[in-house]
Amino acid sequence: MINSNQKEESSKLARRLSDAIGYGTVAATIAILFFFLVWPVAIIISKAFLNDGQFTLDYFPLLFANELYKNSMINSMWIGVATTVLTTLVSLPLAIINAKYDFKGKGLLSGLLLVPMVMPPFVGAIGIQRFFARRGSVNLGLMEMGIIDAPIDWLGPENMFWAVVILEVLHLYPIMYLNLSAALANIDPSVEEMATTLGVPRWKQYRDIIWPLARPGYFAGAIIVFIWALTDLGTPLLVGYHETVPVQIFNMITDVNENPVGYSLVFVVILVTVAFFLLSKFALGNQKYEMMAKGHVTSSKNEAGFLGSVFIYTLIIGTVFVALVPHISVLITSVSDKWFMTVLPEKYTLKYYAQVFQAELPFIGIKNSFLFAGLSTLVDLALGLLIAYVIVRKLVPFPGLLDSLVMVPLALPGIVLAFGYVVTYTDTFLDPLNNPVPLLVIAYAIRRLPYMVRSAVAGLQQTSISLEEASSTFGASRFYTLRKITVPLVMANLIAGALLCFSYAMLDVSDSLILAMKEQFYPLTKAIYVLFLEQGSGSLVASALGMIGMLILTACIMGASLILGKKMGELFRS
C-alpha cells in the first residue's frame, strides 16, 4: 500500500514537474518575444498611425510623395526579387546534381559550394570596390590584354544595383542550395522509376513530379533569401547604393523623433516581409506530398559519365570561383602594399593584421563581438533547448503554435528590430545611447533563436523517449534526466546550433550598426564600417579585420556542417 502511494505521489510530482517545465518555458518565451519583438514592432506601427494621440494616415502620402523614399522602396523590392531569381538559377542545377548523381570528389566539391557563407557581402564589398574601381585590377587587366580601350565604370550609379544583387547572390545561394538539396534528397526514387517505366519524358518528370515534391523546400529557402536581400543594410551601404529602404532607415535613426515619416517606412517594410512570409508559409510552403520512403534512404544515384563529369566539374568549380572573387579581393586588399595603377600589389605586407591587434578600435570590435555573441549564444542554448524539448515531447497542448511563434523572428528583418529598440527603449534603463550591450545581446539572441530550436528539435526527434521514461521509472527527476541523458544524446546538435548562432551574431550588421552608438561598445562589423570610412589605410585595416571575422565564421560553419551534414539546410527553413 505504501509503495503504491509512493508511486502515485511520484507520478503526480513528475506530472507537475513536466507541467512546470512546459508552461514555464512557454511563459518565458512569450514574455521575451513580447517585450523584445512584439512590443517594439507595435510601438513602430502605432507611431506610423498616430499624431499627438490622434489616428492619422497623413504620413503615408508624404512617404509615397517623396521621390527618394519611393525609389528606395522600388529598388529594395527589385533587389529582393532579382536576388531570389538569380539564386534559384544558380542553386537549382547544383542541387539536382548533388541529389541525383555520383562523381569523384563529390564531398569536397559540395563542401566548397558552402564556402561563400563564411563572409557576408558587407565585407566582400570592401574588396570589390578595390577590384572593380575605374582604375582597379579588373579594368587594368582588361586594358593590358587589349580587350577594352577605356576603363568601365563597374560601380557607377547605373551599375550599383547589379553590384549589390550579385554580392547578395554570391553570399545567399548556399542557403537555397541547402534547402533544395534536402528537398530533392527526400523524394522517394520509386516515384521517378515508375514514371520512367510508364514512358514519361525526363523533362516532364521534373516539371510534374520532382518540382511539386521539392516545392515546399524551395519556398522555405526562397523566402529567407528574399527577406535577407530586401532588408540587407551593409552591402548597399558600402557599395554606395544609398537609394534602398535599409539605408534610408539607417539614416533616420538620428532624427527619428523629428521625422515621423520614418515610422511609416518601417511599417511598409514590416508589411511586405510578413506578407511574403505568410504567402510562402501558407499558400505555397504548406503544399506537402507524403511519400512511403525517403530518397536518401533508398536512392541509387546515377553515375556521371565522362562528359557528364566534365560538365559537373566545370559548373561547380566555376560557381565556386566566381563566388570566391569577393573573398579573394578582400584577402589581397588586406595584404597589399604600394598598390597603385597595377593589376596586383607591387608589395605584400602583414602590417595591417598587426594593426588590428595594436590599434584600439579593431581590438575593441573583436573583443566586444566575442563577448556579445558568446552571451547571446548562451541565451539561445538554454532557451532553445527548453523550447525544443517542450515541442518534441509535447509537454503543452498545441506545441505547433509554440514552434510557429519561435519562427517569427525569421520574418522580421534585423533593421526593423534594431529601429524598434531605439524607438522603444530610448530614455529608459535600456537606452542604447548609454549602454547598448543588453539590447545587442537580446537582438542577437532573438534573431538566431530559430536556428538553435531547429537544431535541437532535429536531435530530439532522433532520440527515443523510452530512454527518458526508463530514467523516470527508476526515480530520476525530469531535470536530472534532461541533464544526464537527453542533453548528452543531442549534444552534437546543440554544438552545431550554437556554432551557427555564435558565428552569425559575430558578423551581424543591422543590429550592430544601429544599436552600437559609442566607440567603446562597437562590435566587429561596426568597427569594420567605421574603419572603412577613414581616410588613408582605414579600408586596408578594415579588410584585415574582415578576414579575421571570415576565419572565425569559417571555423564555426565548417564545424556545424560536419556535425549536421545534410540536415544543416533545415536550420534555414522558415
Residue 438, all three cell numbers: 543588453
Please answer whether residues 69 and 248 qualify as being in contact, where contact means their C-beta atoms are separated by less than 8 angstroms.
Answer: yes
Q: Are strands 336-337 and 101-102 parallel, antiparallel or unpaired?
A: unpaired
Residue-level pLDDT, tens digit, the chain, 574 residues: 445 555 556 556 656 666 676 677 788 888 888 999 889 989 988 888 888 778 888 888 988 888 999 999 999 999 999 999 999 999 989 888 887 777 787 777 777 787 777 666 777 788 788 788 888 888 888 898 888 888 888 888 888 899 999 989 988 888 888 888 877 776 767 777 777 777 778 777 777 777 777 777 788 778 888 988 998 888 898 888 999 999 998 888 876 666 778 888 889 988 888 887 777 666 554 455 555 444 444 445 667 667 778 888 898 889 988 888 888 888 898 998 878 888 888 889 999 999 888 888 988 999 999 999 999 999 999 898 888 888 887 777 877 788 878 888 877 888 889 999 998 998 899 999 899 999 999 999 999 898 888 878 877 776 767 766 676 666 666 677 777 777 787 877 787 778 778 888 888 888 999 999 899 999 999 999 999 888 777 888 989 998 888 887 777 766 666 666 555 555 555 4
DSSP state string for 142-163: HHHTTS-SS---TTSTTTHHHH
Where helices occur in 292-335 by DSSP H, the ranges are 295-298, 306-334
What are the Cα distances from residue 339, in Å, to 58, 157, 538?
A: 53, 25, 15
Residue 515, all three cell numbers: 544599436
Please answer whether residues 463 and 485 qualify as being in contact, where contact means their C-beta atoms are separated by less than 8 angstroms.
Answer: no
Per-residue pLDDT, 572? 53
Per-residue pLDDT, 292? 46
What are the Cα distances from residue 201, in Å, to 299, 311, 460, 515, 534?
A: 20, 22, 41, 56, 60
Neighbouring C-alpha atoms within 13 Å toward the C-beta of 540: 18
Task: Give all domains of the chain, ordered by start, each with its CATH number.
Answer: 1-53+350-574 (1.10.3720.10), 79-246+287-340 (1.10.3720.10)
DSSP state string for 533-545: HSSTTHHHHHHHH
Q: Which long-range contacts (CB under 8 A, 24 or more apart) does 252-260 make?
A: 252/419, 253/419, 253/422, 253/514, 256/419, 256/422, 256/423, 260/47, 260/48, 260/51, 260/59
What are the Cα distances from residue 220, in Å, to 205, 449, 459?
A: 22, 17, 20
Q: Residue 254: is it exposed, middle or buried by C-beta count within 10 angstroms (0-12/13-18/19+)?
A: exposed
Residue 92, all three cell numbers: 537549382
d(CA 223, CA 202): 28
Q: How many residues does the chain have?
A: 574
